[in-house]
Structure 1
Amino acid sequence: MATTRRAPRESPLTRDAVLDAAAALVRRDGVAALTMRALAAELGTAVTAIYWHVGNREALLDELVARTVRELGMIRARGRTPAERAESIAHALRRELLGHPHLIALVHERGLTELMMLPAQRALAEEAHAAGLRGQRAAEAVRAVQVQVIGHVLVGRARERAPEQRPGEPELWTPEATGDPGLAAALAAPLDEDALFTLSVRALVRSLWAGGGASDAGTGGTSDA
């Protein structure tokens, strides 16, 4: 991709400005587009200035990964009850994953996905404990919500990349085929991914968090309460 050089910067270049520009470039064009020359052109400065502030490309990528991990660690729960707060964590995690797709992929390539997910897991575990869940049941609740979030993000991205379907849902879901006009009309309509995520994560969280305080022997675990 051709890069248009910007006008020289009037303000002093900083390390944070370099990282901000690098993150924006990756978000817009992908990791492969991040070269020191392209970044210098983006900032309107010399390549040597980039090296002085952040080192070479590998050091720059490492810092972008570290920054992404830190940002995922800033997720905060909101709500009055443990279930509401767990839902808010799920929504915040989904927003972060959707907002930084190329940076998230870079973290994964560096083998740091588990570290990146740890803050959200800890926040979910805190709300599971607040609901009275312990041991295996608490762990299952945490992982179920995490997988729900990741699954929605991956399915959404797959739908974005998929070719136009022929036949599509309007042709596949007809009142005659189902005997339920309301169902057919709803399934033939465009998918509202946000609404579906809200519905599914709420149902999941409330079903899991509702069993707080009960024994977890039914799942084969032992309570650590």
Structure 2
Amino acid sequence: MARSALTREEVLATAAALVRQHGPQTLTMRKLAAGLGTAVTSIYWHVGNRECLLDALVERTVQEMGTLRPTGRAPAARIVSVARGLRRELRARPHLIAMVHERGLTERMFLPAQQALVHEVHAAGLRGARAAAAVRSVQFHTVGFLLVERNRERSPVQSPAEGDLWSESTAGGDPALARALARPADPDRLFATSVRALVDGLLAGSSQERRSPGQGPGVTAE
């Protein structure tokens, strides 16, 4: 028996969950109806046909990506928090992000994160071209890191493995370095370290930093 109190948001939330798990190519109206415990005609009434449904999912994803909120007290920590939040949200919905990209809405999707970064680089004392370069550097670093990360996750088993390639000789006589590089990378820690180093470099000499010499703002854990 078909359920009665179905809402548009329930339809979109269930469809988004199916796309997240299996990709848009597997999303059918029948499968969605089964997941909701309703009739296909009820879904059509709420969201239209499949193309309308996909368009609505894309719009919903764009709106969700606009909810990033910086955390931390100092501009550097807040910039890092935006980058970490952006990476987290992109990782959480790769299939939906791909759909956004295919429909030419990527720049619009990134706008709220860019605006958050603009606010923080202004608070740090950057203006004009230097502020723009900082915003784009953080965005490009975050997206580029994620692409490399996803590629490594999807790559076939490597032979020799990374750990097999590092020794004292290949590490320039640095055994501690060899041991560290032989261990699997920790993407979360590596991202936090790299984006913080990037932000510190971008803000070096800013008016905010000159007001507080020697006091590098800390990064709060997520």
Whether TM exceeds 0.5 here: the answer is yes
Q: Is 1:192 aligned to residue 186 of structure 2?
A: yes
Q: Quick one: which of 11, 15, 20 aligns to 1:27?
A: 20
CA distance 1:176–1:9, change in 2 (3 Å): farther
1:144 equivalenced with 2:122 (yes/no): no
Q: Which moved more, 1:10-19 or 1:76-85?
A: 10-19
- State whether residues 9 and 43 of structure 1, in contact with CA within 8 Å, keep that contact through their aligned partners in structure 2: no
Where does the alignment leave 5 or more consecutive residues of structure 1 unmatched? 1-7, 215-225
Report the AA paired with residue 148 of structure 2: V
Which position in structure 1 is the counterpart of 2:177? Answer: 183
Q: Structure 2: 5+ residue runs without aligned partners?
A: 209-222
Question: Is this contact kept in 2: 1:82–1:130, CA < 8 A?
Answer: yes
The separation in 1 between residues aligned to 2:125 and 2:145, in whole angstroms, is 27
Tell me by how many angstroms 1:51 deviates.
0.2
Kept in 1, the 8 Å contact 2:90–2:97? The answer is: yes
CA–CA distance in 2 between the matches of 1:73 and 1:164? 36
User: How far apart are residue 13 of structure 1 and its match?
Assistant: 1.2
Tell me the secondary structure at the aligned position of residue 177 of structure 1: coil
One of 66, 75, 86 as aligned partner of 1:82: 75
Residue aligning to 2:29? 36
Q: Which residue of 2 aligns with 1:205?
A: 199
Q: How does 1:61-80 map to 2 (within 5 A)?
A: 61-80=54-73
Say which structure, 1 or 2, has more relative contact order (CA 8 Å, 6+ apart).
2
Aligned residues: 207
Question: How has the CA–CA distance of structure 1 residues 167 and 40 changed in structure 2, closer, same or farther, with 3 Å as cutoff?
Answer: same
Counterpart-to-counterpart distance in 2, 1:11 and 1:77? 40
Q: Deviations over 1:5-62 (max 9, x none)?
A: xxx5656211111001000000001010111111111112111011011111111111
More displaced stretch, 34-43 vs 129-138: 34-43
The letter for the 1-side match of 2:189 is A
Q: How does 1:75-154 map to 2 (within 5 A)?
A: 75-154=68-147
Normalized against structure 1, the TM-score is what?
0.89
Question: What SS does structure 2 have at the residue aligned with 1:176?
Answer: coil
1:77–1:85 Cα contact (<8 Å) kept:
yes
Q: Report the Cα distance in structure 1 between the residues aligned to 2:139 and 2:148, rounded to whole angstroms.
A: 14
**1:196-217 deviations in Å (ceiling 9; x for gaps):** 0000000001111233249xxx
Which sits farther off after the overlay, 20-29 or 10-19? 10-19
Paired residue type of 1:208:
L
Q: Which runs of 4+ in 1 moved over 6 A?
A: none
Partner of 2:38: 45
Aligned partner of 2:211 in structure 1 is none
Q: Percent identity?
A: 62
Residues 125 and 207 in structure 2, CA contact (< 8 A), matched pair in contact too: yes
Equivalent AA in structure 1 for residue 110 of structure 2: M
Contact map agreement 1:22 1:34 (CA 8 A) in 2:
yes
Do the aligned residues in 1 keep the contact of 2:3 with 2:38 (CA within 8 Å)? no
User: Partner letter of residue 17 of structure 2?
Assistant: A
Q: CA–CA distance in 1 between the matches of 2:74 and 2:36?
A: 46
Question: Counterpart of 1:3?
Answer: none
**Cα RMSD after superposing both structures:** 1.4
